[in-house]
């Protein structure tokens, strides 16, 4: 994009500068409400007014993108916050995976049944399986 701007802007700038410096006549500018008259070379006036127009255009362009820059700053802050949260959650998930792995490695020891549980189990009906019916 920068090359395209240079390709278009450079010839236009050269034409404007040639036009400005060829016109060397004196010009009188009257600032109406202040009754001030300024006499300068026409080439100086052309270059000054073009520079003033460029600076003002750049300034208003910068102002028009203020909401976009503000939204971008907010988005960057939100991205940093989400990145920190993502790292925290990733660490938690990794810790949970290691906990699961250690739990799988350990033998699960069932607690011994109490006397009351043994008696209940003795008198309760056991489910009949399909193989035992035959």
Q: Is the pLDDT of residue 106 over 80?
A: no
Count of other CB atoms within 10 angstroms of residue 38? 10
| Residues 52 and 77 placed together within one structural domain of the fold | no
| Residues 59 and 86 placed together within one structural domain of the fold | no
Q: Is residue 25 part of a domain?
A: yes
Instruction: Give the number of domains in the chain.
Output: 2
| Residues 73 and 59 placed together within one structural domain of the fold | no
Q: Is residue 77 part of a domain?
A: yes
| Residues 50 and 92 placed together within one structural domain of the fold | no
Q: How many residues does the chain have?
A: 134
- The pLDDT of 61-65, averaged and rounded, is 94
pLDDT tens per residue across span 65-104? 999 999 999 999 999 999 999 999 999 999 999 988 888 7
H helix intervals, 1-134: 2-22, 42-64, 66-105, 115-123, 130-133
Count of alpha carbons within 13 Å of 125, Cβ hemisphere only?
Answer: 3
Q: What is the pTM of this model?
A: 0.53
Confidence of residue 19 (pLDDT cuts 50, 70, 90): confident
- What pLDDT does residue 103 have? 81
Q: Is residue 3 part of a domain?
A: no
Nearest-angstrom CA–CA distance, 97 and 89: 12
More confident residue, 16 or 7: 7
| Residues 88 and 47 placed together within one structural domain of the fold | no
Domain residues for the domain of 31 are: 11-64
| Residues 15 and 36 placed together within one structural domain of the fold | yes
- What pLDDT does residue 108 have? 67
Q: Is residue 2 part of a domain?
A: no
Q: Rg for the chain (alpha carbons), in Å? A: 42
């Amino acid at each position: 994009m920068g090359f395209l701007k240079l390709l278009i802007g450079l010839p236009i700038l050269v034409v404007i500068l040639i036009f400005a410096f060829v016109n060397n006549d004196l010009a009188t500018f009257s600032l109406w409400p202040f009754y001030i008259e300024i006499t300068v070379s026409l080439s100086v006036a052309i270059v000054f007014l073009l520079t003033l127009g460029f600076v003002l255009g750049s300034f208003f362009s910068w102002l028009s993108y203020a909401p976009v820059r503000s939204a971008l700053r907010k988005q960057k802050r939100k991205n940093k916050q989400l990145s920190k949260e993502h790292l925290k959650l990733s660490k938690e998930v990794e810790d949970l995976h290691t906990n699961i792995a250690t739990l799988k490695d350990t033998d699960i020891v069932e607690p011994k049944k109490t006397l009351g549980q043994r008696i209940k189990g003795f008198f309760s009906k056991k489910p009949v399986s399909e193989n035992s019916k035959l």
